[in-house]
């Protein structure tokens, strides 16, 4: 790393701000002690602006590269998305399920309560595992703004499925057909397409060719392909190239399965160069038996071939405990996922992260 980068690394129970340059890392600050961050995301044009969703506490913004943070939203904020068309537009998702938008970079917010006008039949799917009912609530997990159409939004719910708006959040439709277990994680479109999408979930990795009208699983070559309990997929990216490469983080089952079976996540990083037809496991530079789940994949802000993977054996979902620090590591690939090397080892569990240019 000859360039200078700023790393926002959410550990289980704190946020660490670090500077990386020429292969060395130094700690600048630590914030949110004893809390769990669900999401970190920032602005590319103004890299000093970053948003943090802190579970059960609120949404925060820094405008000075992580030195200070201000609360911009109260409540159980679980995710932020910066509109790729206009970085003044920011979306925030909550638990219980609710969606807000800011048009001024996060200072003032308006509710998009058209989401709550979906039918009772659709909203009946918005639930949580039985042991957490009455304790935690279903929440917005991810907000997707189509890179070619600012009006086209997808929202993923945990648990609750996929919902779609074509009018910038005024009206919504359910787009979950074909997905039986509605614990959703992350959605993206195939580059250049407004019809073809992929979505990761706690039980399967899915593709739709009709704008979410119908989903089917595409897991050929995955270690636990098409199984009911073990095909757990989380964050993933498209990387540019002659053929877009897909890079996917997965584990052997969800955190609940790990606890029941008293084992580690057995995570993997998977690659596909043929648009999901075949998957293979990335192994060069990674532990032969990886004890962590790759929770977050963060692209380098400048170099399209470089991706950082934050890993950990802790869970940020239902039942997490910020006092259980766990174990984790930060890895990097500079060749689109073919080979990896450690950046930070012997870390507490890394749950999410963001990397910005200095």
Site of tokens 């930060």 = 330
pLDDT at 1: 46
Q: Band of the pLDDT at 269, cuts 50, 70, 90?
A: very high
Secondary structure element (H or E) that encloses residue 114, with its range? none
pLDDT at 319: 53
Residue 321 has pLDDT above 70, yes or no: no
pLDDT tens-digit series, residues 96-106: 999 999 999 99
Site of tokens 């039985």 = 130
CB atoms within 10 A of CB 334: 15
CA distances from 274 to 190, 235, 242, 282, 350 (A): 12, 19, 11, 15, 30
Contacts of 241 (CB under 8 A, 6+ apart): 336
pLDDT tens-digit series, residues 144-197: 999 999 999 999 999 999 999 999 999 999 999 999 999 999 999 999 999 999
Helices (H), the chain: 120-123, 255-261
Site of tokens 């602005």 = 43
pLDDT tens-digit series, residues 1-56: 457 999 999 998 899 999 987 678 899 999 999 888 999 999 999 999 999 999 99
Residue 200 has pLDDT above 70, yes or no: yes
Q: What residue ranges do the domains of the chain occupy?
A: 35-217, 218-358
Contacts of 130 (CB under 8 A, 6+ apart): none
pLDDT tens-digit series, residues 285-316: 999 999 999 999 999 999 999 999 999 987 66
> Which CATH number does 35-217 carry?
2.130.10.10
Mean pLDDT of the chain: 93
pLDDT tens-digit series, residues 212-268: 999 999 999 999 999 999 999 999 999 988 889 999 999 999 988 988 898 999 999
Q: Are the C-beta atoms of residues 309 and 247 closer than 8 Å to each other?
A: no
């Amino acid at each position: 790393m000859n360039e200078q980068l700023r790393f926002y690394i959410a550990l289980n129970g704190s946020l660490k701000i670090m500077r990386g340059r020429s292969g060395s890392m130094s700690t600048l600050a630590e914030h949110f002690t004893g809390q769990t961050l669900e999401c970190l995301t920032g602005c590319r044009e103004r890299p000093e602006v970053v948003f943090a969703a802190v579970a059960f506490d609120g949404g925060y913004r820094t405008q000075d590269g992580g030195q200070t943070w201000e609360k911009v939203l109260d409540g159980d904020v679980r995710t932020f998305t910066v509109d790729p068309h206009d970085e003044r537009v920011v979306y925030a998702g909550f638990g219980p399920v609710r969606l807000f938008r800011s048009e001024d970079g996060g200072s003032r917010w308006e509710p998009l309560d058209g989401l709550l006008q979906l039918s009772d039949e659709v909203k009946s799917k918005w639930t949580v595992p039985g042991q957490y009912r009455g304790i935690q609530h279903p929440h917005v997990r991810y907000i997707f703004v189509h890179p070619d159409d600012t009006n086209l939004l997808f929202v993923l719910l945990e648990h609750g499925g996929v919902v779609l708006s074509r009018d910038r959040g005024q009206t919504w439709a359910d787009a979950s057909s074909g997905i039986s277990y509605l614990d959703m994680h992350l959605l993206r479109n195939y580059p250049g397409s407004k019809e073809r999408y992929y979505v990761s979930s706690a039980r399967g990795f899915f593709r739709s060719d009709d704008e979410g009208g119908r989903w089917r699983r595409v897991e050929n070559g995955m270690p636990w392909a098409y199984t009911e309990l073990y095909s757990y997929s989380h964050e993933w990216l498209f990387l540019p190239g002659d053929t877009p490469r897909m890079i996917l983080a997965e584990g052997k089952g969800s955190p609940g399965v790990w606890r029941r079976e008293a084992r580690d996540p057995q995570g993997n990083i998977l690659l596909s160069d043929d648009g999901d037809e075949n998957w293979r496991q990335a192994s060069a530079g990674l532990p032969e038996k990886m004890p962590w789940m790759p929770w977050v994949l963060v692209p380098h802000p400048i170099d399209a071939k470089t991706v950082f993977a934050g890993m950990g054996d802790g869970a940020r979902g239902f039942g997490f405990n910020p006092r259980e620090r766990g174990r984790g590591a930060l890895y990097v690939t500079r060749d689109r996922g073919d080979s990896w090397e450690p950046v930070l080892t012997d870390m507490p569990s890394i749950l999410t992260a963001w990397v910005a240019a200095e």
